A and B are shown apart, each in its own frame.
Chain A
Amino acid sequence: AQKVTQTQTSISVVEKTTVTMDCVYETRDSSYFLFWYKQTASGEIVFLIRQDSYKKENATVGHYSLNFQKPKSSIGLIITATQIEDSAVYFCAMRGYGNEKITFGAGTKLTIKP
């Protein structure tokens, strides 16, 4: 079984700064995929970024980037130049190579202050 743990319940930062959210995972799969999703105040869940376990390079999409540390089973999300609209709940998630079901962490609530 897979397990995803997000220990930060909430984070608050000032606009235009950089924020890092932590996530650790457990799996017996040799290949797997790691994701970050965002849930807005309206409830909408949006895919942000993916890291394939076999890739050493950290994924980057726009102002989102990942800090993948495979030996530590860690996949941190870094958001640079934060904006008010980045305020949301961020979920770390993973799936195995064959089975497409996703296991989610508990989420981290991010608040961006002006």
Chain B
Amino acid sequence: NAGVIQTPRHKVTGKGQEATLWCEPISGHSAVFWYRQTIVQGLEFLTYFRNQAPIDDSGMPKERFSAQMPNQSHSTLKIQSTQPQDSAVYLCASSPRDSSYEQYFGPGTRLTVL
């Protein structure tokens, strides 16, 4: 079985440009989570969806960041007007059922903002 798929694996953008990151959860999983990992801040929760509905976006920067899950097979994280401090590894995870405990992580997208 394929794991969580994230594309692209690496993305380089210029300051002020837009970045869209894609996540395909494991087939049959009903929750998708987004996290960000940096050396300074570590692993930080951003947002999550359960059955395509947004549940908690408390970790999302209020400006410039948005996430969607238009269907059960993919989610996107969009960053508008990227800034150097947005440089990080963005991780997507999925979970198989309501209130299931374990989350299965994708390989991440390394975003570099120049």
Contacts and interface: CB of A to CB of B under 8 A. Distances in A.
A106 interface: yes
Contacts of B48: 100-101
Interface residues of B, number: 25
Interface residues of A, number: 20
A110 B108 CA distance: 22
B114 interface: no
A50 B100 CA distance: 12
B107 A104 contact: no
A106 B60 CA distance: 19
A25 interface: no
10 contacts: A33-B101, A35-B102, A44-B107, A45-B93, A46-B105, A91-B43, A100-B99, A102-B45, A102-B103, A107-B42
Interface of A: 33, 35, 37, 42-47, 50, 91, 99-107
**Interface pairs A-B: 7 shortest CB-CB:** A104-B43, A45-B105, A101-B45, A47-B102, A106-B42, A101-B56, A50-B101
